[in-house]
Structure 1
């Protein structure tokens, strides 16, 4: 059966001319369950990594090691997109254009300027659009599958609150580098011993002056491998507990590890450290009307309906609360006239959050497409949170959630990878 699937998949990317000469249009590099990774995709990703490395004056490992990492990244991507298809997760063109417009706005450029920048970098706009579409889809798949694996107890929140009180307002942040020498889901003693030996060799290379990013790209099983293992700036409370305990008090350039976890052996580098000044958090009070497209109501009609509401509201012909109660398909807010109450805008889906960021108090948005449907949003007001007890609890919860979500995402991806049928085809 596997042979038949393989033959069919290979045949799908071959073409023959009129004199029966075989012409290779593309080649299947990897069979991933019901899908494939094409050679062109592998080469495109490798080219991107090389271009970024050149721009950052970063050395890279051998092409073979780079290819291995690129294939692994594309396998994980393919599995997530296949799951999205099974779950029926789609991103419509209007929603995609709204997301790209928001990206441009966040960079303080127009959409046309963004397109010119992509052209200068040699990136086709259509390719960029599809990359963004896939990123949004994969984000939705991860949220849907990983969120339910995260459990937070009241005791965990209280413990973190006590720790935060002890640390005071000033807390350290660490820019961490991470190399994971991975283990299979059910490792044997031989697997563990071999991984430990590899980890010890990596530590020896790093201690003798080898480039951390180069080794991470070549050897790490972590999600950030192709970024040179860089995890970015993390508060001590936002990183995995295993890492937090290991790097506390460590100075810049310190190497830590190998540290054993269920995923394998971790090696950390403290790329840099910085203190945190007291940060004030802005909250928003807003309301919205949600219209969901359906077989009966098209995307264009839903958008047009909200545009009409906006015109009526701005002219004083309609009342927002009454429109929300009559038309909004968000049961949680419709009965309250669309009001969502005071909240951190980061709690909203990206399209909704980004639309709010563009509004002044009292203003209405244009119709905004999110994964939930079309929204008409009004920003009622903004305020600066002064770290009340409730806010401290919310912050503690979010820190724990972010850490556990990151850990569970790694576990979920590894489990999905281990359960999949993967066949890497030989290059010729």
Structure 2
């Protein structure tokens, strides 16, 4: 909710708040438009027109005629009123606490304090109270839009894959690889036995490299490639500058990866990605943890739940019982209890904040003291930690977000047109 509102300009919110201000301070003059069971007042239309003109003058913008501006202002006010009616029927409300948090965010995005924001709003011709109500109204509009439009957006896995691949191809021109190369050569006209022998030698070299043999030393002693004396270093190049055979093999590889053997007309090639630049990589830490949860109830008091976990922990530490058996027998978490408390591999961001805090700071193999989260009392043991390459996941997520934003805007416009078409609208004052 806050994120959407932070991008709304102060000037536009001032337009909306000036309308609210007119409503609050002037006697109801005339009804300009009837919208279902609500109305738009002539004073609201006039206030919006006046504010648009003031903002245009400050920015030295030219505007169309008053007649055209009036049509646009009424259209916007009608659409706003229809959406607000839907929001009210759905029981959407914005608390004062939510409102204060959002206003704080708007001020920060504009590099202002809340007091400075207030001064700016008043300089634009509005009042602080009407501005606050306009922000509240924008928050309600955002909530009802998301609720109505999100379910209309469908993105297929194929769309995500296609866009992800297109973005990757666009970035490939900027990515460079430093390759090291070993060639187990073949002479012209080599027979099948010689080809098989060369293949076996290449596979043996690759196995040695995987076990930690130095690539440069191996290239000097075993490669028949033109850069053997340089340790097989081919220098920096992008995908388009590589031989096609290498380009296809190197794509999606990371620093340190070994590739091969790759057969060509001159022999078998072994490649190592010595380094990369311009290549986006994303790594995340995952944790494998297990826990035992006791949830306080009418039967089990909060104090007794903690004491019981202390007893269970003592039994496990003393070797009198296993963690798995105690989790199966006592844990209130049905998802992990049957697995001996094992939560599997995951990033700690998925956990409750209190649980995450303990897991992030825990030593591997040490059972924590009992602690409390929103779910109850836990003891937890971190079994292992690992760093995972999340680059592909990040690319897919980026593609999804781009597609979602594009389709969301399309569906929002379709939905707004639908609800406007279905509304009863009668213009009274012309």
Structure 1 length-normalised TM: 0.45
Report the structure number with the largest CA radius of gyration: 2
Structure 2 length-normalised TM: 0.44
